Amino acid sequence: MKVAMPVNGQSMQDEVCESFGRAPFFLFYDTESEVPNFVDNVAAKSRGGAGIQAAQSLVDAAADVLLTPRCGENAAEVLAAANVAVYKTEGRSIEANLEAFGNGSLPLLQETHPGFHGHQND
């Protein structure tokens, strides 16, 4: 299973990013091989619709699951269309969240927020 997560840096010691669409990097973690792969978030610098573009990149990368503190409603619509399950992270630790997800203790993300149409660096 391919797990995606918005992160602030390119190591497992970095933190989960508070933002989904404008996170600097995404971690793709393969739960079978346990190999982490950090990639630049192409949407981070987009002028608007960053969440949509970030969600598209996750879909294109064939992510099965997204772990994130927050998610906009437009991004959620794209992820839902591709059956990407979205779970809510707890705390900032990447490893703790991966472990919690593995244990089945992360909740599904229930609430999505409206988009900001580029007016806020979300």
Residues binding another protein (CB under 8 A)? 43, 46-50, 52-53, 55-56, 59-60, 74, 77-79, 81-83, 115, 117
Output 36 or 49, the one with its CB closest to another protein.
Answer: 49
Tell me how far, at minimum, the Cβ of 105 lies from another protein, in Å. 27
List Cα–Cα distances, 52 to 40, 62, 66, 72, 117, in angstroms. 16, 15, 14, 9, 11
Question: What CA–CA distance (Å, rounded) separates 73 from 117?
Answer: 12
Tell me how far, at minimum, the Cβ of 95 lies from another protein, in Å. 29
Secondary element (H or E) of residue 76: helix 73-81
Question: What CA–CA distance (Å, rounded) separates 25 from 43?
Answer: 10
Output 7 or 43, the one with its CB closest to another protein.
Answer: 43
Tell me how far, at minimum, the Cβ of 48 lies from another protein, in Å. 6
